[in-house]
């Protein structure tokens, strides 16, 4: 209504700039002067009072952490073909568990199982340990639940406490600070303890690094001998792992939850999906990443869910690190910018029937999948999601395995799901009790 660049003032902070539309968002997300992160109270509180980790750091801290994280994870197979068998095992395990849980025809919620399955391969890279889905430790299960609670109860701008942090002293319960602080303390202790255990093991055994935490601890020791200042320390490591953990679980398992919700409501789309899997893969062979491009309709369904569910309706807030301008508007240093990705995904001029779930919009006249540059669920530019490749691979394999074996539907008299989901830091899929029927 008000154009692609709109300024708002929240509390006493610098203005918040909402950037909408494909052209404005593309320019903003590709300009390095907007690559900063805001310095709000809650963004610092979540990591011990200073901005640490990957998601909410910027300039040299973020550059060093991102560079090391990507390089190290790739060395251990992150996003590479060698991780496929691990992903495939987890997808098969998840499918078997869901099949067993629902074989009696009793309505069941499966979202927590999906969360654990999504985390499994990432946890192997981070921690070096592999757990069977459904057999994760109570502490790891609790960590997943705490992060889910934090995500669902917060918003991308941090809420009123970011604008008026003094209110935590006056109304700790009413502002939600008491619960937020308690959850942050528990989740931070979990990751600090994980790092401490790895440090003890490394000191005792001097073993070769086989996971991200060990490699980071080794990097800390290496940099101690260097005269230059270092952003590498154990606290930083704990918060980098926390950010990887949160980013790895929240968006991917929410996507899978939304896929199931949309297919339950749109049974015709689910039947076409079954037909394509049966025709291309069959029933005797498990789906693999090599099959991805042979399943255009599955790719179209995933793209349409990413577009319509808008799990990340905006980018994480950016900050201008110097005085600049955007489309003729003055953007001063420390202004916060938010990319309204939903405005692109729901643009009626481009998509036409943007409110309608129609995977066919990504299929051409020859039945092939068509990429669309207006779809940007992982963001753009240097600050786009660094786990995009793994997120796509995981979502594809998990959905393909589940749909190969199972048909999803609602119990009798179950109200129609609210496909808009539940808003928080990211949009959560609707809570559903489902029935999964074995197809063969």
The torsion of the CA quartet 252, 217, 35, 153, rounded to 10 degrees, works out to: 40
Element (H, E) at 17: strand 16-20
**Locus of tokens 């393909």:** 400
φ, ψ of residue 113 to 5 degrees: the values are -70, -40
And the tokens for 132?
């069977």
* β 336-340/16-20 pair status: parallel
Residues in the chain: 440
Q: How far is residue 155's CA from residue 268's CA, in Å, rounded to a whole number?
A: 35
Q: Binding site annotation covers 385?
A: yes
Q: Do residues 58 and 37 make contact, with C-beta atoms less than 8 angstroms apart? A: yes
Q: Do residues 393 and 381 make contact, with C-beta atoms less than 8 angstroms apart? A: no
The torsion of the CA quartet 149, 151, 152, 156, rounded to 10 degrees, works out to: 150
Helices (H), 234-375: 234-265, 267-280, 296-309, 341-345, 348-351
Residues of the binding site for heme = 385
Residues of the binding site = 385
């Amino acid at each position: 209504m008000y154009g692609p660049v709109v300024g708002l003032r929240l509390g006493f902070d610098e203005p918040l700039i909402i950037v909408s539309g494909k052209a404005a968002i593309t320019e903003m997300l590709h300009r390095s002067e907007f690559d900063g992160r805001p310095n709000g109270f809650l963004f610092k509180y979540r990591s011990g009072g200073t901005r640490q980790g990957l998601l909410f750091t910027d300039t040299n801290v973020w550059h060093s952490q991102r560079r090391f994280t990507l390089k190290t994870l790739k060395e251990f197979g992150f996003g590479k073909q060698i991780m496929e068998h691990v992903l495939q095992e987890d997808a098969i395990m998840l499918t078997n568990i869901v099949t067993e849980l629902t074989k009696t025809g009793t309505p069941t919620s499966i979202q927590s199982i999906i969360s654990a399955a999504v985390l499994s391969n990432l946890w192997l890279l981070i921690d070096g340990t592999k757990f069977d889905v459904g057999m994760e430790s109570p502490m790891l299960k609790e960590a997943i639940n705490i992060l889910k609670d934090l995500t669902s109860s917060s918003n991308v701008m941090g809420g009123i406490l970011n604008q008026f942090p003094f209110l935590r002293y006056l109304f700790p319960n009413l502002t939600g600070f008491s619960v937020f602080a308690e959850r942050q303390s528990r989740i931070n202790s979990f990751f600090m303890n994980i790092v401490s255990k790895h440090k003890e093991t490394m000191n005792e055994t001097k073993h070769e690094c086989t996971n991200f935490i060990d490699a980071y601890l080794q990097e800390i020791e290496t940099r101690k001998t260097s005269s230059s200042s270092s952003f590498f320390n154990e606290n930083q490591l704990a918060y980098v792992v926390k950010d990887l953990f949160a980013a790895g679980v929240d968006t991917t398992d929410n996507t899978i939850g939304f896929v199931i919700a949309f297919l339950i409501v749109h049974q015709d789309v689910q039947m076409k999906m079954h037909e394509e899997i049966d025709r291309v893969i069959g029933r005797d062979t498990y789906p693999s990443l090599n099959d991805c491009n042979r399943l255009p309709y599955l790719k179209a369904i995933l793209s349409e869910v990413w577009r319509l569910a808008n799990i990340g309706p905006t980018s994480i807030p950016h900050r201008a690190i110097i005085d600049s301008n955007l489309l003729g508007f003055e953007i001063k240093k420390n202004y916060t910018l938010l990319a309204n990705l939903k405005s692109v995904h729901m643009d009626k001029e481009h998509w036409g029937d943007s409110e309608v779930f129609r995977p066919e919009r990504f299929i051409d006249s020859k039945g092939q999948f068509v990429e669309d540059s207006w779809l940007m669920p992982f963001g753009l530019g240097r600050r786009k999601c660094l786990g995009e490749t793994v997120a796509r691979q995981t979502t594809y394999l998990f959905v393909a395995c589940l749909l190969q074996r199972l048909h999803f539907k609602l119990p009798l008299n179950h109200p129609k799901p609210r496909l808009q989901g539940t808003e928080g830091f990211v949009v959560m899929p609707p809570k559903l009790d489902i029935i999964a029927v074995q197809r063969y």
